Chain A
């Protein structure tokens, strides 16, 4: 099939290579150059400006804390959901569809959804008021309530971002042969042992890609934070946005972009190293 016209596959991939070259590789190089140069000469001035900015430390800390809080919970929830649907017979499709709905919801919309619950006259306060736990409207999303704001943003992120993790994990679970579990069951393995010794190792590839995807997305968190907390909760991408749009300083914005990319790449490498995927053991 390939011998007589070897140029065919190259012709087929060429348009996408050119496109990704122009709009992925070139901007990537531009960002790095913009970040480490000043008026065309190499310089660390932008990095210095970034690091000495008043919001820098807080935005790094907030972004990391949010990622550390959100990603593990999403993985656990997704594993739970995946195990639950695996036990279902009827109604599986419907339940899966409902759980997948947040996949189509943008982070901005998720922020607005949770704003309707967490705002001063929102539903959370109404419930707490109804139960007699609070006497008047309480603000949760302000500068004075950083912990509540953090929890609110984390909940909105968990609400929105778990669907994608669940889909990847369910797709992985579907590929685990039934015989493995049955064999373990015959040999008397408890459900927990079956889960940790059979299921988890077999869905490693799915787990790995879910972790990479979610972590990179978590470091990109921006609109949900902005919708809920405005500028009360600085995060890295939000700072990049402000430097670009408000301050019109593209170089410092690029410095933030480079920082976010380095963190994302580092996280990806850690996952690739930490979760070894042995192709021969795949079903």
Chain B
């Protein structure tokens, strides 16, 4: 950076710069802190007036009470189930496609990439609307599997593009060397390529999880009794008391924040790839 010789000027600019950074951090973090206060403050906390910004009246009790509310734990498990299906399917179907895109030139490659990119121009969750009828016919309506399938539509294109980038990052020479030493293609893939690609694949899986975990619309349209956490919270929203809404918000936020933290090293590599 160009440094200015005026001594008073540079610290002032740095101060401004860092206040900007701190302000933007506060913009992200303070609302989360406040909803956590709301979730742990219980009924009395929600209607306290005026509010205290310090955690004076918090305990885990209200949040545990929320967890014990009928339907919460079950919908939490349903969410985990749907996200698990999404992760398994989007990696199982997306990673081979990503590998094919990274390693082979074949006719139709461009058309395939177009199909994958095309999904991005569509609000995919909306496709849950016509699926209702086919789902009822197939017995998939109101099942965790059905929700997992539609969530895979959201996560699969992402997984294919990202794994393509990951496999491009594994040198082809290593794989070819393994063939020379007598590995079959499948052995070479699992012994040489897969270990090197594993961290990236795990990061992709985490994103697939978060995509499913956070999805509201399709899950609400396709379920009635076996609701995911988002769908459950949405449907009981209008009749739940304020502190339950905050507890629900906190419960939605916590797992994905932990997961994002776990894959923070890969965030930029992954989104750099997937937005090309």
Footprint of B on A, CB under 8 Å?
Answer: 1-2, 6, 8-10, 12-13, 15-17, 19-20, 23-24, 26-28, 30-31, 34, 80-81, 84, 87-88, 93, 95-109, 111-117, 119, 121-123, 125-126, 129-130, 137, 159, 164, 167-168, 170-172, 174-175, 185, 205-206, 209-210, 212-213, 216-217, 219-220, 222-223, 226-227, 230, 237, 240-241, 244-245, 250, 253-254, 257, 260-261, 264-265, 268
B115/A17 in contact, CB under 8 A: yes
Question: Which residues on the B side are within 8 Å of A101 (C-beta)?
Answer: 28-29, 32, 257, 260
Question: Which residues on the B side are within 8 Å of A6 (C-beta)?
Answer: 106
Separation of A110 and B125 alpha carbons in the complex (Å): 18
Question: Which residues on the B side are within 8 Å of A261 (C-beta)?
Answer: 122-123, 126
Q: Does any Cβ of A come within 8 Å of B80's Cβ?
A: no
A103/B221 in contact, CB under 8 A: no
The 4 A-B residue pairs with the shortest CB-CB distance in the complex, in nearest-first order: A112-B249, A104-B256, A106-B214, A171-B272
A31-B129, A84-B17, A237-B217 given; A13·B96 CB < 8 A: yes
From residue 25 to 82 of chain B, which have CB atoms closer than 8 A to chain A?
25, 27-29, 31-32, 34-35, 37-38, 46-51, 53
CB-defined A-B contacts under 8 Å, sample of 25? A2-B105, A10-B106, A12-B97, A15-B97, A16-B96, A19-B156, A20-B115, A20-B153, A20-B157, A80-B20, A87-B1, A93-B264, A104-B210, A106-B216, A112-B233, A112-B249, A115-B245, A115-B246, A159-B28, A171-B268, A212-B121, A220-B123, A237-B123, A241-B220, A245-B221
> Which residue, A1, A20, A87, A109, has most C-beta atoms of chain B within 10 A?
A109
Smallest distance from the beta carbon of A158 to chain B beta carbons, Å?
A: 9
A119/B242 in contact, CB under 8 A: yes
From residue 113 to 142 of chain B, which have CB atoms closer than 8 A to chain A?
115-116, 119-134
Q: Does any Cβ of A come within 8 Å of B21's Cβ?
A: yes
A23-B153, A209-B275, A264-B121 given; A174·B35 CB < 8 A: no
Contacts A12-B104, A108-B214, A119-B242 known; list 9 others, CB within 8 Å: A9-B100, A20-B116, A87-B17, A105-B257, A113-B32, A121-B50, A230-B237, A241-B220, A253-B129
Chain B interface residue count, CB cutoff 8 Å, equals 99
Question: Which residues on the B side are within 8 Å of A219 (C-beta)?
Answer: 123
Separation of A12 and B105 alpha carbons in the complex (Å): 13
Question: Which residues on the A side are within 8 Å of B46 (C-beta)?
Answer: 121
Question: Which residues on the B side are within 8 Å of A167 (C-beta)?
Answer: 267-268, 271
Separation of A93 and B264 alpha carbons in the complex (Å): 9
Separation of A250 and B93 alpha carbons in the complex (Å): 31
A172-B272, A240-B129, A254-B129 given; A16·B97 CB < 8 A: yes
Residue of A nearest to B231 (CB): A108
Separation of A137 and B51 alpha carbons in the complex (Å): 11
Footprint of A on B, CB under 8 Å?
Answer: 1-2, 17, 20-21, 24-25, 27-29, 31-32, 34-35, 37-38, 46-51, 53, 89, 92-94, 96-97, 99-101, 103-106, 108-109, 112, 115-116, 119-134, 149-150, 152-153, 156-157, 160, 172, 176, 210, 213-217, 220-221, 230, 233-234, 237-238, 242, 245-246, 248-249, 252-253, 256-257, 259-261, 264, 267-269, 271-272, 275-276
Separation of A126 and B38 alpha carbons in the complex (Å): 14
Question: Which residues on the B side are within 8 Å of A216 (C-beta)?
Answer: 120-123
Contact residue among B153, B238, B267 (Cβ-Cβ distance under 8 Å from A24): B153
